[in-house]
Amino acid sequence: MAEYTPMIKQYLTIKADYKDAFLFFRLGDFYEMFFEDAINASQILEITLTARDGGTNDKIPMCGVPYHAAAGYIEQLVNQGHKVAIAEQTEDPKQAKGVVKREVIQLITPGTVMEGKNLLEKENNFLASVTSFSDDSFGFALTDLTTGENRVSLLSFHFDDVIGEIYANGVKEVVVSSDFDDKYRKALIERCSVTLSYEDNCTIANQFEQLIQGLEDEKMVLTYGRLLNYLMKTQKRSLDHLQEVRIFHTNQFMKIDLYSKRNLELTETIRSKGKKGSLLWLLDQTVTAMGGRLLKQWIDRPLLNKSEIESRHNMVQTFIEHYFERLELRDQLKGVYDLERLAGRVAYGNVNARDLLQLKKSLEQVPGIYHLVTQLKHPYATNLAKQMDLCESLTELLQHSIKESPPLSIKEGDIIKDGFNATLDQYRDASRNGKTWIASLEKQEREKTGIKSLKIGYNRVFGYYIEVSKANLQFLPEGMYERKQTLSNAERFITPELKEKETLILEAEEKIVQLEYDLFIDIREQVKGYIPRLQALAKVISELDVLQCFATISEERHYCKPQFSEEQLFIKDGRHPVVEKVMQAQEYVPNDCVMQQGQALLLITGPNMSGKSTYMRQIALTSILAQIGCFVPAREAVLPIYDQVFTRIGAADDLISGQSTFMVEMLEAKNALVNATSKSLLLFDEIGRGTSTYDGMALAQAIIEHIHQQIGAHTLFSTHYHELTDLETKLENVKNIHVSAIEENDNVVFLHKVKEGAADKSYGIHVAKLAELPDSLIERAKEILGQLEQTEKEVAVSSEESERSVEPADNLQLSFFGETKASYKMGDKQVTSKEKDALKSIKEMDILGLTPLEAINKLYELQKQLKG
Ligand code: ADP
Ligand code: MG
């Protein structure tokens, strides 16, 4: 049987180690792919599939991309979640015996790309590793290879927490052990669409010991070790810029699970999945890329520690009060490039002179920033200033060494300034002198020969030459001039003298280029020594940037500084920060919200489109804004510090997962109910929608009762089941509110104003009318509604037990009153506070402890109370 050629054998040997990657196999000026890789890549990249002989009878499928254009193709593959292994020739083909040696020099994966369009300035590119432990907990580690940031946390028991972290950090690739549980793998791939990678070695190599010195336990070390070993294996180069691993205790931050984050549109919108329209988009007034990334991290992790939160608020206040200083700071920050990523690329050895120039310009801003920050005379600011390392010696080095507009390439010279290196200056002198000599030669030769048009030129092939036009050739003396090149109407000559100078000049230039390259590499090595200091500086600058951003947005949008209280939530004239911004001509209607400790469940009714969801979300967003340290969209706000925020929406409203089944709705509800504490904020938006009316209503009521009795968390519960408003009378801490609307000429007008009491009815048909459904259809719907209401009324009347407060038809009229009337008064059906008190005392009655007479007296009293 025929065998593969030695080269194909080599290919197959390398490929065996990189089964899950496209192997880019260097062949001359191309990277070639073979077999399956070739077939798949040719489709994805839309390049031609060919075939070549490989020693066997069948031809081998092959496709390739030119070496110089490979970056774009690699990016395309990696963007789609694939990995690319780059196999280079690792010996000089001229010296090779047999097949040239090839080795994989780097594995590029979605989580480890260092450059390209896919790396957004204001976003981290995190690679994660997950380890599951036998006690059901999970270790979770993150690295951003571009910035060197490292983190690790332990997550408890719920794999959903892992998924939440992956989502929040925009992780595209996760490293796990080869025996990682199948159901988790499946969840990672299906729910997070990440690329999975495997690494079983978790031992931290000695050279990285200092990275993990702060880690508290073996689980953390193991989880980070897995990640680190994967990095070493894929990158095969210096990882000097990795920063000390920081621990994130998840209980130090407000917990917002995956669904809630999506639902509140913190960093991306539900519909477009883009940043525009999200809270991040609204807030982002950061000037630097580093600041932009930190802002996103802060939004993902609101604080719980009151004094930490307040010190951010105070700093924001200071920035608001120091308007001009803030403007100046913003100006200075504009001159600061991405120090973190620059440092990463320095470590990687792929910076050029322009990058170092950016570094220099950034560092030149730092003294000004330092000065400004100290001027604020605020403890937070002073503390930040103290941490600012001006890296003056580095600034000086760069100022003296790097030219102002260097070329992209570091191999062509023209990078290093005069005066930086004596030898370089000498070569340059030699080269310059030679050039001056040649320039003067032209004049001499003209005089000598009397040929006025004689000129001296240079080209790469022939070097320096003397050019004489054909007409003037006769005037050229014999002997000295050696003919080099003939053009159509001129001849070019050289002379021994000219040749000699040329050699000098070219030698000098060659030396200059080589020396400049060496000097540059040396400077780059020196910069490497500054990496940790640059990273520390980057941290301070990004923090300043986010805080000035909070001040800028708070001032621009008239936010107020929130206060904190353990007892209550009190928001005066609160607004939804994003809806308010995107509404153009119309005015956003501000709304209050009050939740006492004892009166913690607001049941929200109101027609479709009246603003229930918006109102609920604005409360959650206000709390989140407050806890990340920003001011809040309200006239006045007193807030508890919430440990968790949950938002749950009925399946019919759930546009997020695309799997809007009732099961999902219930699973999410369960998660909230299991995890919430009395210090949490719960939003339930039309829960129970995904099933039939009675089912849904029953569940909704049971959920309310559960929250009321078991959890006691501040809760906003919107519902389209009017029947539930009756719960106010049964459950002490339930309070009805509604978003008001009025009818004018059979049209509904939304006032978006939140008021006490329950809404009178739903206005679905009116909304349909607004949406301009056909008139005949609207009429028919009204007819059907009439019939349904009639039936309901009959049912209600016939059932003496019925406690459901279905609106009697005659009450409908009441809903047409104007907005000025206290619209939460709902006719007789409304429970008065007297009734509530009476019910309360009945509830609290110790019946077994009463004598019959006492009982009768009590009853009498109650009746009197109710009548009077
Ligand atoms: P619901 O949940 O009651 O169906 P939404 O909260 O979805 O209603 O709000 C519907 C629309 O009403 C929103 O898209 C927004 O444009 C508008 N809206 C909501 N609240 C307000 C408000 N307070 N002021 C002005 N417009 C609002
Ligand atoms: Mg809604």
595-607: average pLDDT: 84
For ligand 1, atom 4: residue with the closest CA: 609
**Res 740 pLDDT > 90:** no
Specify the DSSP class assigned to residue 253.
B
Helix (H) or strand (E) holding 160: helix 159-168
Distance between CA atoms of residues 219 and 204, nearest Å: 13
Distance between CA atoms of residues 553 and 551, nearest Å: 6
**Res 543 pLDDT > 90:** yes
pLDDT score at 71:
87
Closest ligand 1 atom to 575 CA: 23
Q: What is the 3-state secondary structure (H, E, C) of 310-356?
A: HHHHHHHHHHHHCHHHHHHHHHHHHCCCCHHHHHHHHHHCCCCHHHH
Q: What is the 3-state secondary structure (H, E, C) of 47-95?
A: CCCEEECCCCCCCEEEEEEEHHHHHHHHHHHHHCCCEEEEEEECCCCCC
Phi-psi region of 56 (alpha: psi -120 to 50; beta: other; left: phi over 0): beta
Per-residue pLDDT tens digits for 651-669: 544 444 445 567 777 777 8
Centre a 10 Å sphere on the Cβ of residue 779 and count the other Cβ atoms it contains: 11
Q: What are phi and psi of 265, to 5 degrees?
A: 55, 55
Among candidates 605, 595, 834, 830, which has minimal Cα distance to 737?
Answer: 605
Which residues, by Cβ under 5 Å, contact ligand 2, an ion?
613
pLDDT score at 683:
94
CA 628 to ligand 2 centroid distance, Å: 26
**Ligand 1 neighbourhood includes 588 CB (under 6 angstroms):** yes
pLDDT score at 311:
95
**Res 673 pLDDT > 60:** yes
Centre a 10 Å sphere on the Cβ of residue 307 and count the other Cβ atoms it contains: 8
pLDDT score at 398:
96
pLDDT score at 830:
61
For ligand 1, atom 9: residue with the closest CA: 611
pLDDT score at 416:
95
For ligand 1, atom 20: residue with the closest CA: 611
**Res 78 pLDDT > 80:** yes
pLDDT score at 634:
97
| Ranges 32-36, 79-83, 313-317, 339-343, most confident | 313-317
**Ligand 1 neighbourhood includes 612 CB (under 6 angstroms):** yes
CA 559 to ligand 2 centroid distance, Å: 25
pLDDT score at 811:
34
**Ligand 1 neighbourhood includes 613 CB (under 6 angstroms):** yes
Distance between CA atoms of residues 38 and 24, nearest Å: 10
Distance between CA atoms of residues 307 and 508, nearest Å: 65
Distance between CA atoms of residues 339 and 359, nearest Å: 7
Maximum C-alpha span of the chain: 146
Tokens describing residue 301:
């992790």
**Residue 167 DSSP SS3:** helix
Among candidates 422, 418, 458, which has minimal Cα distance to 438?
Answer: 458
**Ligand 1 neighbourhood includes 604 CB (under 6 angstroms):** no
pLDDT score at 690:
61
CB 86 within 8 A of CB 104: yes
For ligand 1, atom 12: residue with the closest CA: 611
pLDDT score at 715:
95
Specify the DSSP class assigned to residue 411.
S
Lowest-pLDDT range, 76-80, 253-257, 392-396, 692-696?
692-696
Per-residue pLDDT tens digits for 203-248: 888 888 888 888 888 999 999 999 999 999 888 888 888 999 999 8
* DSSP letter for each residue of 677-704: -TT-EEEEESTTTTS-HHHHHHHHHHHH
pLDDT score at 656:
44
Per-residue pLDDT tens digits for 741-752: 877 776 777 888
Q: Residue 764's pLDDT band (boundaries 50, 70, 90)?
A: low
pLDDT score at 347:
87
Among candidates 441, 467, 439, 440, which has minimal Cα distance to 453?
Answer: 467
397-426: average pLDDT: 93
**Measured CA distances, 464 to 438, 484, 492, 494 (Å):** 9, 10, 9, 7
Percent of the chain with pLDDT over 70: 90
Residue type, 583: M
Percent of the chain with pLDDT over 90: 46
Distance between CA atoms of residues 390 and 374, nearest Å: 14
Specify the DSSP class assigned to residue 709.
I
Q: Please tell me which residue, 214 or 523, carries the higher pLDDT value.
A: 523
Q: Residue 771's pLDDT band (boundaries 50, 70, 90)?
A: low
Closest ligand 1 atom to 739 CA: 3
Lowest-pLDDT range, 402-416, 486-500, 787-801?
787-801
Per-residue pLDDT tens digits for 469-491: 998 888 888 878 888 889 888 99
For ligand 1, atom 6: residue with the closest CA: 611
pLDDT score at 113:
82
Q: Residue 419's pLDDT band (boundaries 50, 70, 90)?
A: very high
Per-residue pLDDT tens digits for 343-376: 988 988 889 999 999 999 999 999 999 999 999 9
Strand order in the sheet with 21-27: 50-52, 60-66, 30-34, 21-27, 83-89, 102-108
**Strand 490-494 to strand 482-486: parallel, antiparallel, or no bridges (unpaired)?**
antiparallel
Closest ligand 1 atom to 616 CA: 6
pLDDT score at 590:
95
Burial class (CB in 10 A: 0-12, 13-18, 19+), 276: exposed
Q: Please tell me which residue, 555 or 864, carries the higher pLDDT value.
A: 555
Tell if the pTM clears 0.85, that is, is over it.
no
Among candidates 364, 360, 361, 382, which has minimal Cα distance to 373?
Answer: 382
CB 266 within 8 A of CB 300: yes
Distance between CA atoms of residues 431 and 508, nearest Å: 6
**Res 823 pLDDT > 70:** no
Strand partners, 458: 464
pLDDT score at 814:
32
Mean pLDDT score across all residues of the chain: 86
**Ligand 1 neighbourhood includes 614 CB (under 6 angstroms):** yes
Please count the CA atoms within 13 angstroms of the CA of 520 that sit on its side-chain side.
30
**Res 691 pLDDT > 70:** no
Residue type, 349: G
pLDDT score at 555:
97
pLDDT score at 797:
54
**Which residues have CB under 8 Å from 42's CB, separation 6+?**
48, 49, 63
**Res 319 pLDDT > 80:** yes
**Ligand 1 neighbourhood includes 606 CB (under 6 angstroms):** yes
For ligand 1, atom 26: residue with the closest CA: 588
**Res 408 pLDDT > 50:** yes
**Res 821 pLDDT > 70:** no
Per-residue pLDDT tens digits for 561-586: 999 998 899 999 999 999 999 887 67
Per-residue pLDDT tens digits for 437-464: 888 888 888 998 888 899 899 888 888 9
**Res 530 pLDDT > 70:** yes
Per-residue pLDDT tens digits for 151-171: 999 998 778 889 888 988 889
pLDDT score at 363:
96
Burial class (CB in 10 A: 0-12, 13-18, 19+), 711: buried
Mutate to test the pocket of ligand 1, among 752, 753, 763 (most ligand atoms within 8 A of CB): 752
CB 258 within 8 A of CB 167: yes
Distance between CA atoms of residues 854 and 846, nearest Å: 11
CA 685 to ligand 2 centroid distance, Å: 7
315-322: average pLDDT: 96
pLDDT score at 500:
87
Residue type, 841: S
Tokens describing residue 796:
């209600």
Strand order in the sheet with 591-595: 563-564, 636-639, 569-574, 591-595
**Ligand 1 neighbourhood includes 372 CB (under 6 angstroms):** no
Q: What are phi and psi of 250, to 5 degrees?
A: -65, -25
**Res 595 pLDDT > 90:** yes
Q: Residue 770's pLDDT band (boundaries 50, 70, 90)?
A: low
CB 719 within 8 A of CB 604: yes
Tokens describing residue 49:
């599939």
122-149: average pLDDT: 91
The owner of tokens 């009768």 is 856
**Res 826 pLDDT > 50:** no
